[in-house]
Amino acid sequence: MTSPTTSLTKEQIAAFHREGYLVLDAITAQEEVERLRLIYDRLFSDKIGWASGNQFDLAGTDEGDQATLPQILGPSQYAPELKETRYLRNAQGMARELLGEEMLPRNGEHMIYKPPGIGAATPWHQDQAYHDPTIRAYGVNFWMPLDDATVESGCLHFVPGSHKLDVLPHHSINHDPRIHGLEVDDPEKWASKGIACPVPAGGATLHAAFMLHYAGPNRTDQSRRAYTLAFRLPPDQRETPIDNYWSRNQQTARAERAQQANR
Ligand SMILES: O=C(O)CCC(=O)C(=O)O
Protein backbone atom coordinates (compact mmCIF):
# COMPACT_ATOMS: atom_id res chain seq x y z
CA MET A 1 0.00 0.00 0.00
CA THR A 2 1.29 3.52 -0.80
CA SER A 3 2.44 5.51 2.26
CA PRO A 4 0.87 8.92 2.85
CA THR A 5 2.81 11.84 1.33
CA THR A 6 3.93 14.20 4.05
CA SER A 7 6.04 16.60 2.02
CA LEU A 8 6.49 17.57 -1.61
CA THR A 9 9.61 17.19 -3.73
CA LYS A 10 11.23 20.18 -5.47
CA GLU A 11 9.93 18.79 -8.77
CA GLN A 12 6.35 18.62 -7.44
CA ILE A 13 6.55 22.21 -6.14
CA ALA A 14 7.85 23.42 -9.51
CA ALA A 15 5.15 21.45 -11.38
CA PHE A 16 2.42 22.95 -9.16
CA HIS A 17 3.56 26.50 -9.91
CA ARG A 18 3.94 25.74 -13.64
CA GLU A 19 0.79 23.68 -14.31
CA GLY A 20 -1.43 24.72 -11.37
CA TYR A 21 -2.17 21.20 -10.08
CA LEU A 22 -0.68 17.99 -8.69
CA VAL A 23 -1.92 14.44 -8.09
CA LEU A 24 -0.87 12.45 -4.97
CA ASP A 25 -1.50 8.71 -4.54
CA ALA A 26 -1.89 8.98 -0.76
CA ILE A 27 -2.20 11.89 1.68
CA THR A 28 -3.60 9.97 4.63
CA ALA A 29 -3.83 6.41 5.94
CA GLN A 30 -6.63 4.04 4.90
CA GLU A 31 -7.77 3.67 8.56
CA GLU A 32 -8.43 7.41 8.61
CA VAL A 33 -10.34 7.23 5.29
CA GLU A 34 -12.58 4.59 6.89
CA ARG A 35 -13.22 6.80 9.94
CA LEU A 36 -13.90 9.83 7.74
CA ARG A 37 -16.49 7.91 5.68
CA LEU A 38 -18.59 7.37 8.84
CA ILE A 39 -18.48 11.07 9.77
CA TYR A 40 -19.17 12.11 6.16
CA ASP A 41 -22.20 9.81 5.78
CA ARG A 42 -23.68 11.02 9.07
CA LEU A 43 -23.31 14.70 8.11
CA PHE A 44 -25.12 14.18 4.80
CA SER A 45 -27.79 11.70 5.91
CA ASP A 46 -28.73 13.87 8.94
CA LYS A 47 -28.72 17.00 6.70
CA ILE A 48 -26.41 18.69 9.20
CA GLY A 49 -26.08 22.44 8.54
CA TRP A 50 -29.19 22.61 6.33
CA ALA A 51 -31.09 25.09 8.54
CA SER A 52 -28.17 27.52 8.59
CA GLY A 53 -27.60 27.30 4.81
CA ASN A 54 -24.32 25.42 5.21
CA GLN A 55 -25.74 22.30 3.54
CA PHE A 56 -27.48 22.66 0.18
CA ASP A 57 -27.71 21.27 -3.34
CA LEU A 58 -24.86 22.83 -5.31
CA ALA A 59 -26.53 21.89 -8.62
CA GLY A 60 -30.22 22.38 -7.69
CA THR A 61 -32.77 24.69 -6.10
CA ASP A 62 -33.13 22.78 -2.79
CA GLU A 63 -36.80 22.12 -3.54
CA GLY A 64 -36.94 18.33 -4.08
CA ASP A 65 -36.15 15.59 -1.55
CA GLN A 66 -33.10 14.31 -3.38
CA ALA A 67 -30.17 16.67 -3.91
CA THR A 68 -28.00 15.57 -6.85
CA LEU A 69 -24.88 17.42 -5.68
CA PRO A 70 -25.08 17.97 -1.91
CA GLN A 71 -22.40 20.19 -0.38
CA ILE A 72 -21.53 21.07 3.25
CA LEU A 73 -19.50 24.19 4.05
CA GLY A 74 -17.30 24.15 7.15
CA PRO A 75 -18.02 20.54 8.18
CA SER A 76 -15.59 20.64 11.14
CA GLN A 77 -17.94 23.05 12.99
CA TYR A 78 -20.36 20.08 13.16
CA ALA A 79 -17.75 17.34 13.62
CA PRO A 80 -14.81 18.82 15.60
CA GLU A 81 -12.84 15.57 15.22
CA LEU A 82 -12.18 16.74 11.64
CA LYS A 83 -9.77 19.32 13.13
CA GLU A 84 -7.51 16.51 14.34
CA THR A 85 -6.93 14.51 11.16
CA ARG A 86 -3.70 13.35 9.57
CA TYR A 87 -5.17 14.64 6.28
CA LEU A 88 -5.31 18.18 7.72
CA ARG A 89 -1.79 17.96 9.19
CA ASN A 90 -0.26 16.67 5.97
CA ALA A 91 -2.17 19.14 3.77
CA GLN A 92 -1.20 22.07 6.03
CA GLY A 93 2.50 21.13 5.80
CA MET A 94 2.40 20.77 2.03
CA ALA A 95 0.38 23.98 1.59
CA ARG A 96 3.11 25.82 3.52
CA GLU A 97 5.73 24.33 1.18
CA LEU A 98 3.76 25.68 -1.77
CA LEU A 99 2.69 29.07 -0.38
CA GLY A 100 5.46 29.90 2.14
CA GLU A 101 5.35 31.09 5.75
CA GLU A 102 2.91 33.92 4.91
CA MET A 103 0.11 31.36 4.59
CA LEU A 104 -2.93 32.24 6.72
CA PRO A 105 -3.33 29.92 9.74
CA ARG A 106 -7.07 29.31 9.23
CA ASN A 107 -8.13 27.03 6.40
CA GLY A 108 -11.43 26.67 4.55
CA GLU A 109 -13.13 23.29 4.02
CA HIS A 110 -16.11 21.70 2.35
CA MET A 111 -17.48 18.35 1.29
CA ILE A 112 -19.17 17.60 -2.04
CA TYR A 113 -21.05 14.34 -2.43
CA LYS A 114 -22.02 12.66 -5.70
CA PRO A 115 -24.63 9.99 -4.83
CA PRO A 116 -24.41 6.70 -6.82
CA GLY A 117 -26.02 6.90 -10.26
CA ILE A 118 -27.50 10.41 -9.82
CA GLY A 119 -24.56 12.58 -8.69
CA ALA A 120 -24.56 15.61 -11.00
CA ALA A 121 -21.53 17.13 -12.76
CA THR A 122 -19.63 19.93 -11.03
CA PRO A 123 -19.33 22.26 -14.03
CA TRP A 124 -16.13 23.97 -15.23
CA HIS A 125 -15.42 26.82 -12.83
CA GLN A 126 -12.76 28.76 -10.91
CA ASP A 127 -13.14 28.78 -7.11
CA GLN A 128 -12.32 32.50 -7.11
CA ALA A 129 -15.56 33.19 -9.01
CA TYR A 130 -17.40 32.44 -5.72
CA HIS A 131 -15.29 34.78 -3.62
CA ASP A 132 -14.98 38.45 -2.66
CA PRO A 133 -14.63 40.44 -5.92
CA THR A 134 -12.59 43.20 -4.23
CA ILE A 135 -9.60 40.97 -3.45
CA ARG A 136 -7.19 38.60 -5.18
CA ALA A 137 -6.49 35.60 -2.95
CA TYR A 138 -3.87 33.06 -4.03
CA GLY A 139 -3.84 29.64 -2.47
CA VAL A 140 -4.19 25.90 -2.87
CA ASN A 141 -7.11 23.46 -2.52
CA PHE A 142 -6.58 19.85 -1.49
CA TRP A 143 -9.31 17.52 -2.77
CA MET A 144 -9.30 14.09 -1.13
CA PRO A 145 -11.81 11.46 -2.29
CA LEU A 146 -12.98 8.88 0.27
CA ASP A 147 -13.79 6.48 -2.60
CA ASP A 148 -11.64 5.72 -5.63
CA ALA A 149 -12.41 8.65 -7.95
CA THR A 150 -12.49 7.68 -11.63
CA VAL A 151 -13.68 9.44 -14.78
CA GLU A 152 -16.95 7.45 -14.46
CA SER A 153 -17.53 8.38 -10.78
CA GLY A 154 -16.55 12.07 -11.02
CA CYS A 155 -12.82 12.67 -10.52
CA LEU A 156 -11.50 16.20 -11.07
CA HIS A 157 -10.31 17.52 -14.45
CA PHE A 158 -7.96 20.51 -14.81
CA VAL A 159 -6.90 22.84 -17.62
CA PRO A 160 -3.09 22.99 -17.16
CA GLY A 161 -1.80 26.55 -16.80
CA SER A 162 -5.27 28.10 -16.35
CA HIS A 163 -4.36 29.14 -12.78
CA LYS A 164 -2.51 32.07 -14.39
CA LEU A 165 -5.81 33.54 -15.66
CA ASP A 166 -7.81 36.09 -13.69
CA VAL A 167 -11.47 35.37 -12.84
CA LEU A 168 -13.48 34.69 -16.02
CA PRO A 169 -17.20 35.45 -16.43
CA HIS A 170 -19.41 32.77 -14.85
CA HIS A 171 -23.16 32.07 -14.63
CA SER A 172 -25.37 30.00 -12.32
CA ILE A 173 -25.80 26.36 -13.38
CA ASN A 174 -28.56 26.18 -16.06
CA HIS A 175 -28.55 30.02 -15.97
CA ASP A 176 -30.92 29.62 -13.01
CA PRO A 177 -30.19 32.26 -10.31
CA ARG A 178 -31.83 29.97 -7.70
CA ILE A 179 -28.87 27.58 -8.05
CA HIS A 180 -25.73 28.27 -5.99
CA GLY A 181 -23.28 26.38 -8.26
CA LEU A 182 -21.41 28.36 -10.92
CA GLU A 183 -20.21 27.48 -14.40
CA VAL A 184 -17.67 29.42 -16.46
CA ASP A 185 -19.08 30.96 -19.67
CA ASP A 186 -18.20 28.96 -22.83
CA PRO A 187 -17.36 25.78 -20.89
CA GLU A 188 -16.85 23.80 -24.16
CA LYS A 189 -13.81 25.93 -24.88
CA TRP A 190 -12.14 24.61 -21.71
CA ALA A 191 -13.51 21.05 -21.73
CA SER A 192 -11.42 20.14 -24.78
CA LYS A 193 -8.24 21.18 -22.91
CA GLY A 194 -9.12 19.38 -19.65
CA ILE A 195 -6.98 16.59 -18.19
CA ALA A 196 -8.80 13.96 -16.10
CA CYS A 197 -7.05 13.11 -12.81
CA PRO A 198 -8.30 9.80 -11.35
CA VAL A 199 -7.13 9.34 -7.77
CA PRO A 200 -7.56 6.52 -5.23
CA ALA A 201 -9.44 6.90 -1.93
CA GLY A 202 -7.11 8.69 0.50
CA GLY A 203 -5.07 10.21 -2.35
CA ALA A 204 -5.53 13.83 -3.36
CA THR A 205 -5.41 16.35 -6.14
CA LEU A 206 -4.10 19.84 -5.36
CA HIS A 207 -5.10 22.87 -7.40
CA ALA A 208 -4.25 26.57 -7.35
CA ALA A 209 -6.98 29.08 -6.49
CA PHE A 210 -7.67 30.38 -10.02
CA MET A 211 -7.51 26.94 -11.69
CA LEU A 212 -10.31 25.94 -14.08
CA HIS A 213 -11.66 22.58 -12.97
CA TYR A 214 -14.58 20.20 -13.44
CA ALA A 215 -15.87 16.86 -12.14
CA GLY A 216 -18.18 14.67 -14.22
CA PRO A 217 -21.44 13.07 -13.03
CA ASN A 218 -21.31 9.85 -11.00
CA ARG A 219 -22.34 7.13 -13.46
CA THR A 220 -21.34 4.29 -11.12
CA ASP A 221 -23.31 2.45 -8.42
CA GLN A 222 -20.77 3.56 -5.78
CA SER A 223 -20.69 6.83 -3.80
CA ARG A 224 -18.19 9.50 -4.76
CA ARG A 225 -17.40 11.26 -1.50
CA ALA A 226 -14.79 14.05 -1.43
CA TYR A 227 -13.42 16.37 1.24
CA THR A 228 -11.68 19.65 0.30
CA LEU A 229 -9.28 21.72 2.44
CA ALA A 230 -8.36 25.24 1.21
CA PHE A 231 -5.30 27.27 2.26
CA ARG A 232 -4.76 30.92 1.36
CA LEU A 233 -2.16 33.69 1.35
CA PRO A 234 -3.17 37.10 2.75
CA PRO A 235 -5.30 38.68 -0.02
CA ASP A 236 -4.27 41.64 -2.23
CA GLN A 237 -6.80 44.42 -2.60
CA ARG A 238 -7.82 44.85 -6.26
CA GLU A 239 -7.68 48.37 -7.69
CA THR A 240 -10.89 47.62 -9.58
CA PRO A 241 -13.21 44.97 -8.17
CA ILE A 242 -14.39 42.21 -10.50
CA ASP A 243 -17.94 42.70 -11.73
CA ASN A 244 -19.28 39.40 -10.35
CA TYR A 245 -22.89 39.95 -11.52
CA TRP A 246 -23.26 36.13 -11.52
CA SER A 247 -23.19 36.09 -7.70
CA ARG A 248 -24.97 39.42 -7.15
CA ASN A 249 -27.92 38.21 -9.22
CA GLN A 250 -28.34 34.96 -7.32
CA GLN A 251 -31.37 34.34 -5.10
CA THR A 252 -30.86 30.95 -3.52
CA ALA A 253 -32.83 29.11 -0.84
CA ARG A 254 -29.48 28.46 0.84
CA ALA A 255 -28.77 32.23 1.22
CA GLU A 256 -32.34 32.74 2.50
CA ARG A 257 -31.83 30.06 5.21
CA ALA A 258 -28.46 31.59 6.17
CA GLN A 259 -30.09 35.02 6.56
CA GLN A 260 -32.95 33.61 8.66
CA ALA A 261 -30.44 31.82 10.90
CA ASN A 262 -28.48 35.04 11.48
CA ARG A 263 -31.54 37.12 12.39
O1 LIG B 1 -16.01 17.59 -5.61
C2 LIG B 1 -16.35 18.14 -6.66
O3 LIG B 1 -17.16 17.64 -7.44
C4 LIG B 1 -15.76 19.48 -7.04
C5 LIG B 1 -14.76 19.99 -6.05
C6 LIG B 1 -14.31 21.38 -6.29
O7 LIG B 1 -14.64 22.03 -7.25
C8 LIG B 1 -13.43 21.98 -5.26
O9 LIG B 1 -13.33 21.44 -4.15
O10 LIG B 1 -12.82 23.04 -5.56
Distance 196 CA to ligand 1 centre (A): 13
- The secondary structure element, H or E, covering residue 87 is helix 86-99
What is the maximal distance between C-alpha atoms in the chain? 50
Q: What is the pTM of this model?
A: 0.97
pLDDT of residue 30: 97
Distance 113 CA to ligand 1 centre (A): 9
Closest CA to 133 of 237, 254, 255: 237
Average pLDDT, the chain: 97
Distance 256 CA to ligand 1 centre (A): 23
Domain ranges of the chain: 10-257
Residues with CB under 6 A from ligand 1: 112, 122, 127, 141, 143, 154, 213, 215, 226, 228
* 86-121 residue pLDDT tens: 999 999 999 999 999 999 999 999 999 999 999 999
Pocket test for ligand 1, best of 156, 183, 205, 212 (most atoms within 8 A of CB): 156
Distance 206 CA to ligand 1 centre (A): 11
pLDDT at 2 over 80: no
What gap in Å lies between CA 122 and CA 124, rounded to an integer? 7
pLDDT of residue 43: 98
pLDDT of residue 1: 57
Closest-lying ligand 1 atom to the alpha carbon of residue 215: 3
- DSSP for 109-155, written as a single string: EEEEEE-TTTPPPEEEE-GGGGS-TTEE--EEEEEEESS-B-TTTT-
- The secondary structure element, H or E, covering residue 191 is helix 187-191
Percent of the chain whose pLDDT exceeds 90? 96
What gap in Å lies between CA 21 and CA 187, rounded to an integer? 19
Distance 123 CA to ligand 1 centre (A): 9
| Fold designation for 10-257 | Jelly Rolls (2.60.120)
To the nearest 5 percent, what fractions of the chain are helix, strand and coil? 30, 25, 45
